[in-house]
Amino acid sequence: MTTTRFIKVAEPLVGEEEVQAVREVILSGQYVSGRRVREFEERFAEYVGVRYAVAVSNGTAALHCALAALGVGPGDEVIVPPLTFFSTVTSVLHAGAVPIFADIAPDSFCLDPEDVRKRITPRTKVILPVHFFGNAADMDGICAVAREAGLKVLEDCAQAHGTEYKGRRVGSIGDAGIFSFYATKAMTTGEGGIVTTDDEGVARYTLLMRGHGMTDRDHHVMLGYNYRMTEIAAALGLVQLGRLEEGNRARIENSRWLLSQLSDIEWLEVPKSEPHVRHTFFWCPVFVDEDKLGMGVMDLVRLLRSRGIEVRQRYQTPLYRQPLMQQQNFYANGKPWNGGHHYEGEVPDYRDLCLPNVEKVAGKLIGLPNHPKLTSDDLEYVVRVLHDIKPS
Ligand SMILES: Cc1ncc(COP(=O)(O)O)c(C=O)c1O
């Protein structure tokens, strides 16, 4: 089959309104700490269903602020999944704490509460579930484990703008949530992030931490950073927030249709979905059984590309196997918990770790094109090409 068409895996939903909004800021001369950031925070808080939202420069900064605001520091442990973007884990290190990996549930690819329970120690402070690919983690299970052990829950919603769990938007269920507005996300401010919470103390701490720990021009009361969001980013965010649900609805519809057409392909597994989750399909993930296909995932990706279809293929390595985690060269002068005066636990040796559910899927998941600009003809073409691939 030869083709001249090329179906991209993702395309941003942007238009003249964004251009106009940014132009207004540029001409206004007010680039930071203005009304647009405040309005964006108010509108985003309302969208998620929380009392407070504090905008920052990116999702990683949001994670760093939220962890610190929840009281995480040197000597503490935070339980994280090994299948996520790396900064879910590095933000724990930025806070001076120790990431402890737990396994994922086989269908949702999100943290498994039962495995989390096994990894709790007296040093555990926070459980950090990621709502991966637009799905939702088992929040009832995670919150129950957290309650029993007296822990806080921080939701990483960087891939799940508008995802719902039992009728509540993610980012409003744990003690705090974070979102990213990086260029490829369901809505973007170029770079940007936000912390969502009902806890006034967490919101106040994040406000201080994002702005040099400054209470006024001349008073610095805590170790802060420059994590501010610009007015330009907030102006973009306000327009993008208005488009978010249109994009979500289209991605959900496209993904559900695609997945419904693929269940008879033997070498491909469609993940089960939970009826109480509104999955927003940041990715439309499928699991590739390389043995049944008789081909490696990378060869499949290349084959699809040659047929004019781009797919997502990331998160190939469980994060405990990343060179940084294996070598533990986190800080120029060593590890925060190596001196012994802060950290009382055993230094985790990530080289020993092998979590079975993560190992099964890492590198075997691909994300199919599902963005709002796809036509039904494009979607039918994707389904046809996938059916035409015969196992060798
Ligand atoms: C799950 C997850 N967490 C955190 C981040 C970090 O966000 P950012 O790239 O805005 O720093 C990302 C995205 O890139 C992500 O996908």
Tell me the CA–centroid distance for residue 195 and ligand 1, in Å: 13
Closest ligand 1 atom to residue 192 Cα is 10
Average pLDDT of the residues in 380-391: 96
The pLDDT value recorded for residue 273 is 86
Structural domain span for residue 197:
16-239
C-beta atoms surrounding 291 within 10 Å: 9
Backbone torsions φ then ψ of 47, nearest 5 degrees = -60, -45
Q: Where are the beta strands (DSSP E) in the chain?
A: 52-56, 77-80, 98-101, 124-127, 152-156, 164-165, 168-169, 176-180, 193-197, 214-216, 219-220, 268-269, 277-278, 285-288, 365-367
Tell me the CA–centroid distance for residue 294 and ligand 1, in Å: 33
The pLDDT value recorded for residue 4 is 80
Question: In terms of pLDDT, which residue wins out, 330 or 371?
Answer: 371
Identify whether 255 is part of a domain. Answer: no
CATH number for the domain including 170? 3.40.640.10
The closest residue, in CA terms, to atom 8 on ligand 1 is 59
The pLDDT value recorded for residue 307 is 97
Closest ligand 1 atom to residue 180 Cα is 10
Which of 56, 57, 60, 86 to probe ligand 1 with, by most ligand atoms within 8 A of CB? 60
The closest residue, in CA terms, to atom 10 on ligand 1 is 59
Predicted confidence band of residue 346 (pLDDT cuts 50, 70, 90): confident
Identify whether 9 is part of a domain. Answer: no
* Of 15, 18, 1, 17, residue with least CA distance to 373: 15
Identify whether 170 is part of a domain. Answer: yes
Closest ligand 1 atom to residue 193 Cα is 10
What's CA 205's distance to the chain center, in Å? 22
Residue 271: is its pLDDT beyond 80? yes
Average pLDDT of the residues in 269-294: 96
pLDDT exceeding 70 applies to what percent of the chain? 97
The total number of structural domains that make up the chain? 1
Backbone torsions φ then ψ of 373, nearest 5 degrees = -85, 0
Tell me the CA–centroid distance for residue 85 and ligand 1, in Å: 6
Identify whether 357 is part of a domain. Answer: no
Q: What is the pLDDT of residues 148-206, one digit of tens each?
A: 999 999 999 999 999 999 999 999 999 999 999 999 999 999 999 999 999 999 999 99
Identify whether 181 is part of a domain. Answer: yes
Supply the mean pLDDT for the chain.
95
For CA atoms 170, 354, 291, 85, the dihedral sign is positive
- Residues in contact with 20: Cβ distance below 8 Å, sequence separation at least 6, in sequence order: none
Identify whether 111 is part of a domain. Answer: yes
pTM above 0.85, yes or no: yes
* 3-class secondary structure, 196: strand
The pLDDT value recorded for residue 347 is 76
The pLDDT value recorded for residue 341 is 54
Tell me the CA–centroid distance for residue 381 and ligand 1, in Å: 31
Pocket of ligand 1 (CB under 6 A): 58-60, 84-85, 87-88, 130, 156, 158-159, 180, 182, 193
Tell me the CA–centroid distance for residue 62 and ligand 1, in Å: 9
Identify whether 254 is part of a domain. Answer: no
Q: What is the pLDDT of residues 93-125, one digit of tens each?
A: 999 999 999 999 999 999 999 999 999 999 999
Identify whether 248 is part of a domain. Answer: no
The pLDDT value recorded for residue 111 is 98
